């Protein structure tokens, strides 16, 4: 039987959050009672993030303040451990293209192996965001590309300040 309070995690590094992420978070908030946006504190990949954990969490809090059932929290453990600790029943992520599928399939298998009770759910990206990625945004910002309609205003100005040449 489904729990009374259906909690989902929307996890990611969010370096930085894009309007594509926000689209997935908003759609998830319409399907679950509560959504926890889970921000990776210490990415395992080599190389640091452009924005600190506090900055990434702050951007997300600002951009989701109109969504009353969404909270934003950093985590430093395995994703499924964080999900279990928070009582989440699902991990919800967006899928843009076939290229995402391979990576997400692997993550799905890894996460399921750790905890088969936490389901991974994938939302197909809205067409207007199907090309959008945090790394693409950083590349555009570095070389002065137009990013204002792709990320929240606060993120656009922070990117221009931090990366603009």
Task: List residues binding ligand PNS (CB under 6 A).
Answer: 11-13, 40, 44, 78-79, 107, 110-111
Min dist CB 21 to ligand PNS, Å, is 10
Residue placing its CB nearer to ligand PNS in the complex, 4 or 102 = 102
Min dist CB 50 to ligand PNS, Å, is 13
Half-sphere exposure of residue 37, counting CA atoms within 13 Å on the CB side? 30
- b (16+ CB within 10 A) / e for 92-114: bbbbbeeebeeebeeebeebeee
Min dist CB 78 to ligand PNS, Å, is 4
Min dist CB 93 to ligand PNS, Å, is 7
Tokens for 140? 């555009």
Residue placing its CB nearer to ligand PNS in the complex, 11 or 20 = 11
H/E run at residue 70? strand 70-75
Residue placing its CB nearer to ligand PNS in the complex, 15 or 164 = 15
DSSP assignments along 29-79, one per residue: HTTSSEEEEEEESS-SSSS--SS-HHHHHHHHHHHTTT-TTEEEEEE-S-H
Residue placing its CB nearer to ligand PNS in the complex, 31 or 78 = 78
d(CA 147, CA 59): 16
d(CA 35, CA 6): 9
Min dist CB 144 to ligand PNS, Å, is 26
Q: Which residue reads 């067409």 in tokens? A: 127
């Amino acid at each position: 039987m489904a729990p009374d309070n259906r909690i989902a995690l929307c996890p990611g590094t969010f370096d930085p959050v894009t309007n594509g992420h926000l689209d997935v978070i908003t759609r998830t908030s319409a399907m679950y009672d509560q959504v926890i946006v889970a921000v990776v504190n210490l990415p395992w990949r080599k190389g640091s993030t452009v924005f600190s954990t506090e900055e990434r969490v702050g951007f997300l809090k600002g951009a989701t303040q109109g969504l009353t059932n969404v909270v934003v929290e950093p985590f430093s453990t395995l994703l499924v451990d964080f999900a279990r600790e928070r009582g989440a029943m699902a991990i919800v992520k967006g899928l843009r293209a076939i290229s995402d599928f391979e990576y997400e399939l692997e993550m799905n298998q890894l996460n399921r192996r750790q905890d088969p009770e936490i389901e991974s759910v994938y939302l197909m990206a809205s067409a207007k965001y199907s090309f959008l990625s945090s790394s693409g945004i950083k590349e555009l910002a570095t070389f002065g590309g137009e990013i204002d309609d792709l990320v929240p205003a606060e993120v656009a100005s922070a990117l221009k300040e931090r990366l603009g040449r």
